[in-house]
């Protein structure tokens, strides 16, 4: 099925039983988001809100809520898009299948963007920001946001669509000090293409023209988050995945997608910022208020029959998890071609993606040596941390696959494999005072924190505990303890007070454990506020441990040593307690939760959607 616009996609999903229409008027303040979250949690259908309070436009959510529905949307174009990406990643491989590769190249050529002349986009009307569905997702959000935008900018040095950037950067429509209908907030994080464009525009002393496309064929939305091979335009990929050319024109110097449902055009001026946020983000916390570029609104357009797509992010997994799965399926082999020796890299969604990477690499440097230690995998680790958005990672666990097959997607087995083999006095490697994900508030400031590499190679060196060692229950101040994984135990300690108190407590524990002979079978201890919660399921451990700790500050050790600037220990203690400088977690509004029950009760339009899938 080739969709020319969002409405065709919505109608097709409804016929196939993948979408439900909600005809009752729904409030965009918290209510729409709360309904979406409950339906996503149950693995339910896409939702078309036909009557949005305060707006004449419809809205749709949960389009990509299941991998099955996502693949259904792209069922007729998926294979061709995958072949083109593979050919770009491995051009020499095309010589092995010349006929198929020729067809793939022709498909890519047919997907090239097509320009239409004329100043006014046909089929569009001019509207205002206040006419849009102004959806606020979480109680403490700073206002209404666009959560599935396609933000378009061009390279000031090489203008034109083939050198443009299409990215998904959240847009704040209302609130704070933004002048309604005249200004919107543009939040983009580090290592984003639009930042390069703005830097060039600033150097030239001119504003950067920006267009925000909303809706259109679902392929356009997915293209805005795709990590494409070098030299492949997002707009070409959008046409390829959509099965038709990306159509565009220019209106008063601004690029306009002719298939989008809504288009906001404007300019970003050098050094012109306003406070943006808070926003309930995909790590499960509020990203706080910070100065970000303010976009001066030029014009806002809506196509006839426009539908406003949105998603809701929060503690993972959420709908954006499907984006990650789709991207992995389309580009899964790219990283092993880009970085020699890599078998797998897994950005762990349950930990917020960037806080935790798991990787498997080869170890071939010194096969003649009897004593095996991490060598090649350390080179690979540094390359991973210098590649694209993988560079935002905070924790990297990398293992050499030697004695048995392993997979980063069997996380319990992967952690066990690593912890059985690591020499903790040798195999931890820190990078301090460096960059981390913009949304991660565990560090020293916005974009500032540290990284750590855990590396494992060689034979098994220890057995792992599967019950809580009695020694941990006897530590002063420990109220409760639970096994999380083999060799990993979570303990409740006293609430975090300050760094000095933490260091004193850790030193006391270390001395006590060493005086009692050590804990060789428990290499990792998680200090947390609620060990029962952390130990209840794997996702809780991943979320709490890796979103609430900064390696340089929060990794401590029993029997720690510091020699020739290298730190090591006998047992790693990760302090994952909540700390005063961290962002608050997302908590649903009880009144809103009670108000939406009517949709899910017997006789309600969503009455059959009750079973959580997490």
How many CB atoms within 10 Å of residue 182?
A: 14
Q: How far from each other are the two terminal CA atoms of the chain, in whole angstroms?
A: 31
Least reliable range by pLDDT among 177-191, 274-288, 410-424, 532-546: 177-191
Q: How much is the pTM? A: 0.90
| Structure-token pair, residue 280 | 């309930």
Q: Does the pLDDT at position 299 exceed 90? A: yes
Average pLDDT over residues 85-92: 55
Least reliable range by pLDDT among 293-302, 314-323, 537-546: 314-323
Mean pLDDT (the chain) is 90
| pLDDT digits 0-9 by tens, 440-460 | 889 888 889 999 999 999 999
- Could you tell me the CA-to-CA distances from 333 to 20, 82, 227 in Å, in that order? 36, 11, 12
| pLDDT digits 0-9 by tens, 572-608 | 999 999 999 999 999 999 999 999 999 998 878 898 7
Average pLDDT over residues 63-76: 92
Strand 145-146 and strand 171-172: the pairing is antiparallel
Q: Does the pLDDT at position 39 exceed 80? A: yes
Whether the CB-CB separation of 173 and 129 falls below 8 Å is answered with: yes
Q: Does the pLDDT at position 47 exceed 90? A: yes
Q: Does the pLDDT at position 105 exceed 90? A: no
**Helices (DSSP H) in 16-56: which residue ranges?**
31-41
The predicted structure's pLDDT at residue 326: 81
How many CB atoms within 10 Å of residue 205?
A: 7
The predicted structure's pLDDT at residue 245: 92
The predicted structure's pLDDT at residue 440: 87
Query: What is the set of domains in the chain, with CATH numbers?
Result: 6-76+111-310 (2.30.110.10), 339-456 (3.40.1670.10), 470-575 (3.40.1670.10)
| pLDDT digits 0-9 by tens, 221-277 | 999 888 776 567 889 989 999 999 999 999 999 999 999 999 999 999 988 999 999
The predicted structure's pLDDT at residue 366: 73
DSSP letter (8 states) at residue 245: P
The predicted structure's pLDDT at residue 95: 37
Whether the CB-CB separation of 307 and 215 falls below 8 Å is answered with: yes
- Relative orientation angle of helices 234-242 and 98-110, to the nearest 10 degrees: 100
Strand 254-257 and strand 124-127: the pairing is unpaired
């Amino acid at each position: 099925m080739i969709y020319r616009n969002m409405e065709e996609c919505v109608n097709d999903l409804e016929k196939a039983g993948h979408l439900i229409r909600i005809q009752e008027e729904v409030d965009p303040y918290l209510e729409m988001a709360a309904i979406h979250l409950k339906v996503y949690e149950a693995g339910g259908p896409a939702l078309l809100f036909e009557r949005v309070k305060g707006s004449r436009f419809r809205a749709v959510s949960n389009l990509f809520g299941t991998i099955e529905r996502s693949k259904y949307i792209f069922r007729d174009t998926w294979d061709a898009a995958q072949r083109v990406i593979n050919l770009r990643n491995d051009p020499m491989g095309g010589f092995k299948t010349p006929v198929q590769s020729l067809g793939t190249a022709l498909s890519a050529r047919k997907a090239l963007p097509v320009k239409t002349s004329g100043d006014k986009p046909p089929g569009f009307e001019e509207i205002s920001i206040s006419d849009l569905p102004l959806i606020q997702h979480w109680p403490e959000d700073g206002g209404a946001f666009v959560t599935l935008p396609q933000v378009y900018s061009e390279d000031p040095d090489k203008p034109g669509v083939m050198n443009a950037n299409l990215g998904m950067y959240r847009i704040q429509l209302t609130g704070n000090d933004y002048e309604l209908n005249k200004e919107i907030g543009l939040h983009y994080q580090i290592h984003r293409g639009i930042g390069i464009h703005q830097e060039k525009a600033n150097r030239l002393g001119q504003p950067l023209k920006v267009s925000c496309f909303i809706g259109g064929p679902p392929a356009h939305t997915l293209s805005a988050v795709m990590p494409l091979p070098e030299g492949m335009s997002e707009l070409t990929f959008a046409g390829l995945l959509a099965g038709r050319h990306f159509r565009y024109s220019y209106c008063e110097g601004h690029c306009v997608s002719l298939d989008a449902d809504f288009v906001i055009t404007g300019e970003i001026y050098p050094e012109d910022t306003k406070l943006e946020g808070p926003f309930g983000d995909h790590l499960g916390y509020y990203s706080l208020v910070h100065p970000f570029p303010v976009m001066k609104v030029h014009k806002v357009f809506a196509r006839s029959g426009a539908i406003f797509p949105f998603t809701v992010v929060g503690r993972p997994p959420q709908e954006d998890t499907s984006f990650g799965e789709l991207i992995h399926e389309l580009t899964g082999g790219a990283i092993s071609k880009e970085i020699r020796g890599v078998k797998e890299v897994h950005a762990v969604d349950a930990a917020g993606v960037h806080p935790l990477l798991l990787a498997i690499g080869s170890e071939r440097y010194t096969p003649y040596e009897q004593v095996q230690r991490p060598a090649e995998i350390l080179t690979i680790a540094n390359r991973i941390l210098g590649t694209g958005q993988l560079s935002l990672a905070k924790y990297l666990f990398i293992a050499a696959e030697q004695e048995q097959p392993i997979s980063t997607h069997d996380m319990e087995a992967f952690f066990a494999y690593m912890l059985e083999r690591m020499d903790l006095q040798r195999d931890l490697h820190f990078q301090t005072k460096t960059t981390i994900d913009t949304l991660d508030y565990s560090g020293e400031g916005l974009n500032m924190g540290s990284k750590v590499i855990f590396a494992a190679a060689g034979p098994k060196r220890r057995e792992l505990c599967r019950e809580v060692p009695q020694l941990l229950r006897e530590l002063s101040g420990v109220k409760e303890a639970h096994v999380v994984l083999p060799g990993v135990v979570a303990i409740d300690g006293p609430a975090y007070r300050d760094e000095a108190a933490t260091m004193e407590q850790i030193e006391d524990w270390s001395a006590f454990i060493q005086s009692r002979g050590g804990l060789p079978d428990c290499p990792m201890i998680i200090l947390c506020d609620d060990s029962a919660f952390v130990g209840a399921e794997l996702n809780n451990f991943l979320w709490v441990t890796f979103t609430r700790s900064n390696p340089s500050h929060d990794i401590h050790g029993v029997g720690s040593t510091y020699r020739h600037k290298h730190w090591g220990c006998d047992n790693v203690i990760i302090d994952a307690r909540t700390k005063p400088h961290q962002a608050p977690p997302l908590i649903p509004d009880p009144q809103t939760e009670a108000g939406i029950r009517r949709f899910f009760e017997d006789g309600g339009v969503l009455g059959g959607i009750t079973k959580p899938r997490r």
